[in-house]
Amino acid sequence: MLFKGTATRPGGFIDREVEGVGGRMNAGTSLDYTYYHLLLPARRALVGIDILSDISVNASLDDGQLEREKRVVLEEMRLGEDAPMRFLFRQLYEAVFDGHPYGRPVIGRADLIRVLTRDQLMRFYRQHYVPESFTLVVAGAVSPPEVLEAAARTFGRLPRSGVGRLPVSPVTGARPKNVELVRPGTYAYLGLAWPAPRLDHADTPAVDLLVAILGQSRSSRLTRSVRERLGLVNTISAGYSALEGAGVITLTAQLDPANLARAEAEILKELRRLREQGVGRAELERALTTEEARREFRAETAEGRAFVLGHAETIWRLEEELAYTDRLRSVTREQIHAAARRYLDSERFARVVFVPSSAR
């Protein structure tokens, strides 16, 4: 809605302004923040700053446009529920963060979207889109003094609201939860999830490497044992999402429903072995190489660097992001072993299974 027009840039004007110079724009939401970004030729960066400052506080939120956007969002919801892996993650987060905002779908709920009015949307916009909550990031071949001057001329002149950032709701300890759903399709989907440390926790680097060892490359433990050696799954992956207020470790797999019980048993056996025996030196070195490459790749472009820096400055500290690779390099095998014992609790995790209707 914000790109659809302001008092000085009517509907369609921003599209023409950006696309006319070969640029593009997009917006997105996450569990911790919302972002709006413009990808423009470097010489047009100052125009981009002006556009972003304008939409941040002057969006028209046209009633007719709202109804069109509601239809788009409802269709995105439908597509998301039809995508098994995406829906699996949503169910896992709902199970781990039961009763917490992190357990709610980022896209919202269909019943609330359908009845949302412009007045409600405008109240939310006025309450939360305030200068105290903004983080402006500019990356690329630009002049820092010119960028700072443009930021002061635009964002710097916005009247302050006196309202600080919303506090992060505390996350209570997760209870074991088991969810089984029958869905259309041919394959079964298995998801396991554990509460994990939040972004600024001292254990975060060790958990990052622990998850890389478990299932983020072809050489990782679960890939080699459950997929390559035993052939029980089509895909298997481990993930760690370190959020501002909490974190979550996930293990997900797509497989033949006939293999479900054995595959789950083998996954839990591999986790038990890791908790009991720890990790090898070569595993740690491979995991570190994987993590370093992933971090370098995501900041390879100006757009990628802007996302990395904006994420850090918004919900973390920029200094911590810049020092994070060094923190990864300092992690020991003993710290990873301790993280496995602490966070991969054999009794306290969420389990979500999708069984295809064809298997019933």
**pLDDT at residue 3 tops 70:** yes
What would the pLDDT profile of 200-245 be if each residue is shown by its tens digit? 999 999 999 999 999 998 999 999 999 999 999 999 999 999 999 9
Averaged pLDDT of the chain: 94
pLDDT of residue 106: 93
pLDDT of residue 164: 72
Residues 6+ apart with CB under 8 A from 359: 188, 257, 258
**pLDDT at residue 49 tops 90:** yes
CA distance linking residue 343 with residue 211, whole number of Å:
11
Specify the CATH superfamily of domain 2-157.
Answer: Metalloenzyme, LuxS/M16 peptidase-like (3.30.830.10)
CA distance linking residue 14 with residue 58, whole number of Å:
13
What would the pLDDT profile of 145-198 be if each residue is shown by its tens digit? 999 999 999 999 998 888 777 778 878 766 788 999 999 999 999 999 999 999
CA distance linking residue 175 with residue 347, whole number of Å:
9
- Please write down the HEC assignment for all residues of the chain: CHHHCECCCCCCHHHHHHHCCCCEEEEEECCCCEEEEEECCHHHHHHHHHHHHHHHHHECCCHHHHHHHHHHHHHHHHHHHHCHHHHHHHHHHHHHCCCCHHHCCCCCCHHHHHHCCHHHHHHHHHHHCCHHHCCCCCCCCCCHHHHHHHHHHCHHHCCCCCCCCCCCCCCCCCCCEEEEEEECCCCEEEEEEEEECCCCCCCHHHHHHHHHHHHCCCCCHHHHHHHHHCCCCCEEEEEEEECCCCEEEEEEEEECHHHHHHHHHHHHHHHHHHHHHCCCHHHHHHHHHHHHHHHHHHCCCHHHHHHHHHHHHHHCCHHHHHCHHHHHHCCCHHHHHHHHHHHCCCCCCEEEEEEEHHHC
Domain with CATH 3.30.830.10 in the chain: 2-157, 177-359
Instruction: Over range 313-339, report the average pLDDT.
Output: 96
Q: Which CATH class is domain 177-359?
A: alpha beta
Decide if 175 contacts 98 (C-beta within 8 A): yes
For residue 104, how many other CB atoms are within 10 A of its CB? 15
What would the pLDDT profile of 256-296 be if each residue is shown by its tens digit? 999 999 999 999 999 999 999 999 999 999 999 999 999 99
pTM to 2 decimal places: 0.93
What are the beta bridge partners of residue 249?
194, 240
Provide the residue type at 291 as one letter.
Answer: E
What are the beta bridge partners of residue 28?
35
**The two structure tokens encoding residue 174:** 């997760």
Interhelix angle 260-277/204-215, nearest 10 degrees: 130
Is the torsion defined by CA of 53, 31, 214, 340 positive or negative? positive
143-166 burial: b if 16+ Cβ within 10 Å, else e? eeeebeebbeebbeeeeeeeeeee
pLDDT of residue 346: 87
For residue 126, how many other CB atoms are within 10 A of its CB? 11
